[in-house]
Amino acid sequence: MKRFLLSLSLIALPSSLLIAQSSPDADPNFYIYLCFGQSNMEGNAQAESVDQTNIDKRFQMLATCNFSSPSRTTGKWYKATPPIVSPDGKLGPSDYFGRTMVAALPANVKVGVVAVAMGGSPIEMFDKDKYKQKMKDNPNEWWVTLANRHYGGNPYGRLIDMGKEAQKVGIIKGILLHQGCSNNGDPNWPNMVKKIYNDMLTDLGLSADSVPLFAGETLRQENGGSCYAHNTQVNRLPQVIPTAHVISSAGCPGNGQDPWHFSAKGYRIVGKRYAYSALKVMGRETRVDPEYAMVSTLKNFFTPTGFDTEYKYKMDGKTRDMQLWGTFADKHRELLTDETTFSSEDFTITSKGKLTASEEKYGIVTAQYTDFMGTEHNIPIHVLVYTAAIKDIVSDAANTRIYTLDGRRIDKTVGDLPPGIYICNGKKMIVKP
């Protein structure tokens, strides 16, 4: 009788509770993120030398298909070197998402990504109730070829199967999505994403409260994007899915070759933004401190045609350097900086004003600063100007150009200079006694 009552109680439980969740042996410090979408999630930029080095072994990938070069087997874990998603993919947002996460998290935490994506894929390919018909209606599409080649003709099923494998060793902490060009502007897209997200949660026994969705914007119009209109739908997601977060693509450059894909730099930026959003949800927000950024001037180097200024800024407790270049207006005392943009891997500054040089005094330029979350800030740049004789400087094409700090050209070689401080080819030089 007891056995019969137990069976009835199990039948009455919600189906999601009957699905195997993370194993009791899973490492609670191994954070897993599922990634899916089309070509931008698959990765479309050729990895550069900087992308192949200094990858922390704490950042892992679960192969969701077989690779030949490098050799990888479906269902096995590997150090996350690009390409991460598939043999047809390249550098993408998951690369710098994982790198940024492990850099910001404690040393005992590992991060793993489980990614399934196909170039050109419509969102319906991840709907377990629609993908078969979608493939039947479009047998000659490239994304159908990729689905068959890498994922046994069922991309959603492969992602769920690999998600269950991942739950044996770690804890799923979030889901990353980048898709939209194939459904550009479709007002039904947010609800289609909602269904897929809910299916994933159910099939993996997850809770939306602990597994948020992070969805990235498409390439913006000002950066060469043709599917920028879809960002309206991406930004509707939090209204439809309360646990959804939008990843801005503001300032992320395109590849200059097509109107859909980011450059390697663009993927680095958007990948970091995914990480910053995930960290913020955890209460581990990482950002540039706008109160400190750009307020400390190291040097101002005046050259015949402009200036080269080095600044300090602070991010996550570390002080870093940045340079600003500008040009003189008609060789006079006014320094035009309103068209100057300078950046690092952490943020981009675009100045919004003019700076008038004044001997040994500070000038201020109001600058617009866009952080990696896509949030814009207006901050002052304090610039210490060393010279008032800018109007007397003229351009010179000589290979070696030596000037005093007040802009006077010196017709001597470096070895013949008396002790002092000089500007040589635009760089500060100190000649000691």
Phi, psi torsion values for 207, nearest 5 degrees: -115, 135
Tell me which H or E stretch contains 156: helix 155-167
Catalytic residue, chosen from 261, 263, 346, 351, is 261
Rounded Cα distance, 346 and 290, in Å: 12
Rounded Cα distance, 331 and 228, in Å: 41
* Residue of 186, 213, 217, 185 whose CA lies nearest to 199: 213
Sheet order of strands, 341-343 included:
341-343, 348-351, 361-370, 376-385
* Residue of 217, 252, 173 whose CA lies nearest to 37: 217
Rounded Cα distance, 326 and 332, in Å: 13
Catalytic residue, chosen from 129, 137, 210, 258, is 258
Residue labelled with tokens 């979030």: 174
Q: Which two tokens stand for residue 158?
A: 């492969």
Vertex 395: Cα angle to 389 and 401 (nearest 5): 90
Q: Is residue 332 annotated as a catalytic residue, yes or no?
A: no
Is residue 313 within 8 Å of residue 292, measured between CB atoms?
A: yes
Q: Which two tokens stand for residue 62?
A: 């679960």
3-state secondary structure of 105: coil
DSSP letters along 289-323, please? -TTTTT-EEEEEEE-SSEEEEEEEEEETTEEEEEE
Burial (CB < 10 A; 0-12, 13-18, 19+), residue 240, is: middle
Catalytic residue, chosen from 22, 39, 94, 121, is 39
Is residue 190 within 8 Å of residue 215, measured between CB atoms?
A: no
3-state secondary structure of 63: coil
Q: Is residue 150 annotated as a catalytic residue, yes or no?
A: no
First to last CA, the chain: 101
DSSP letters along 174-192, please? EEEEE--GGGTT-TTHHHH
Residue labelled with tokens 């994933």: 200
Is residue 300 within 8 Å of residue 386, measured between CB atoms?
A: yes
Question: Cβ contacts of residue 432 below 8 Å, gap of 6+?
Answer: 419
Other beta carbons less than 10 A from residue 11's beta carbon: 8
Q: Catalytic site residues?
A: 39, 258, 261
